[in-house]
Chains A and B, each alone.
Chain A
């Protein structure tokens, strides 16, 4: 198995890639938890004027009927008008696409954005919905029974880690 890519390098790479597309009208939303960490970094690196939005998709998940409500969902906070906005939606790992589906549904309860682009640090494949990332740090092969997670250490450094799925 190939070693996992360096999350810090992918983050820098994404910032470089996004630089030319960011305009004064761009706004960014990070998805809890890892997506918020990545979004905080990108938001600062790109000098986006609008405050960063954060979103917890717990109330829009499609597995509520099997799993129940996720424990202690965070409060979604979008400090700008979504209507007509050019949005960068940021998550750490893209897998089935279900989180992104839920996030888009939640977003539309705030307004009708002009455009949503998806930014992810890593794409591990395994899509179950027709969703793809417009900006992707890198592709990672994840063996069956494992999951890819983004971690953040005490100094704020990002790191990808392979864990056994629960």
Chain B
């Protein structure tokens, strides 16, 4: 823990790279701070002056409109200047190295880098090379981590269910390709969730996933029974090379969340999805738009959570 590159000498969060390894107090502090920012996002003037004069660079080496937008809104609500760089379409294609790109932006007086990269570990590499006053937030790296999504999932679960210590949470679908699932599993375990389940076909579950402290189910009918929270994952077809699955239709038949399957969960269960949703592939429209769904509140909370993370790291 001492050597966690995310923490400074006082154990405070300096970069957010992964939920894995973060102490419970740090996670709780982010969630509590986010709760105060939810208050700000409900006001007419949704802006506070914390990051006035700071520059936030959204450095996206992999396209993602939604995540980039929520980071942009969060930074603007903190009064920062936001610069969006779609690097996939610029210097990298001209052969500039990752660290050269970052050094150049650093010379433009960056304070905070929000990084999405297709390769696992890229934000760690950047964090090791930035200047002391610069901070890095991982906005998704390869299959590794997506900590702000994990945190907003945790925030949403706490909002609706309050106490993690008596919850049964099921994460369903393409766990193999999902950095969201990995971040959420680490967060749930750290916050003391007694039962985390993953449900999916064997081909879409990482080998040795049990080592993360989860129960593995291959059938929805078994895994969904009596759960409090259902987290549906997106079927990442663009990441899938080769035949891990017969077809999307086949997947929906076995692992798509329908009202009928959801009835196995507790009557007050909530349904979450990190988006973007594939309706009719991993989730049926009646469920996505139904009374158990908290998918849109997740998006709203996501902004407050990102405001919390940015203002905490930029101040440490």
Task: Show the binding face of A for B, using Cβ within 8 Å.
Answer: 56, 58-60, 64-65, 67-69, 71-77, 105-106, 109-111
List 17 A–B pairs whose Cβ atoms lie within 8 Å, in order of A's numbering: A56-B36, A58-B36, A59-B36, A59-B40, A68-B316, A69-B50, A69-B311, A69-B312, A72-B29, A72-B32, A72-B33, A73-B36, A74-B36, A75-B35, A105-B49, A110-B43, A111-B44
Q: Which residues of B contact A75 (CB under 8 A)?
A: 35-36, 38-39
* Residue in A closest to B54 when the chains form the complex, CB atoms: A65
Q: Does B48 have its Cβ within 8 Å of any Cβ on chain A?
A: yes
Contact B39 A64 (CB under 8 A): no
Name the A residues within 8 Å of B38 (CB-CB). 75
State A7–B40 Cα separation when bound (angstroms). 33
Q: Are B39 and A76 in contact (CB under 8 A)?
A: yes
Which residue of B has the minimal Cβ distance to A67?
A: B315
Known: A67-B315, A68-B316, A72-B33. A109 touches B39 (CB 8 A): no
Assess A109 versus B43: contact at CB under 8 Å? Given A73-B36, A75-B35.
yes
**Set of chain A residues within 8 Å of B45, measured between Cβ atoms:** 109-110
Chain A residue with Cβ nearest B28: A72
| Residue from A58, A74, A77, A110 within 8 A of B44 (CB atoms) | A110
Residues of B near A69 (CB, < 8 A) are 33, 50, 311-312, 315
B311: chain A residues within 8 A (beta carbon): 59, 64, 69
State in angstroms the CA–CA spacing of A60 and B47 once bound together.
Answer: 10
Q: How far is the CA of A60 from the CA of B35 in the complex (A)?
A: 16
Chain B facing A: main interface SS: helix
A68-B315 in contact (CB<8A): yes
CB neighbours (8 Å) of A68 from chain B are: 12, 312, 315-316
Interface centre among B12, B36, B38, B311, by most chain A C-beta atoms within 10 angstroms, is B36
User: Could you say which residues of chain A place their CB within 8 Å of the CB of B40?
Assistant: 59, 76
Partner of A59, one of B32, B35, B44, B50: B50
Q: What is the minimal beta-carbon distance from A88 to any residue of chain B, in angstroms?
A: 21
Q: Please give me the residue from chain B that is nearest to A66 by CB atom.
A: B315
Closest 4 CB pairs of A and B: A68-B315, A59-B48, A109-B45, A75-B39
Complex Cα gap A95–B48 (Å): 24
Residue of B nearest to A76 (CB): B39
A139 CB, min distance to chain B CBs, angstroms: 32
- Give the distance in Å from the alpha carbon of A129 to the alpha carbon of B109 in the complex: 31
Among residues of B, the one whose C-beta sits closest to the C-beta of A105 is: B49
Other than the known A68-B12, A68-B312, A75-B38, what 10 A-B pairs have Cβ atoms closer than 8 Å? A59-B48, A59-B50, A60-B48, A65-B315, A69-B315, A72-B29, A72-B32, A72-B33, A76-B39, A110-B44
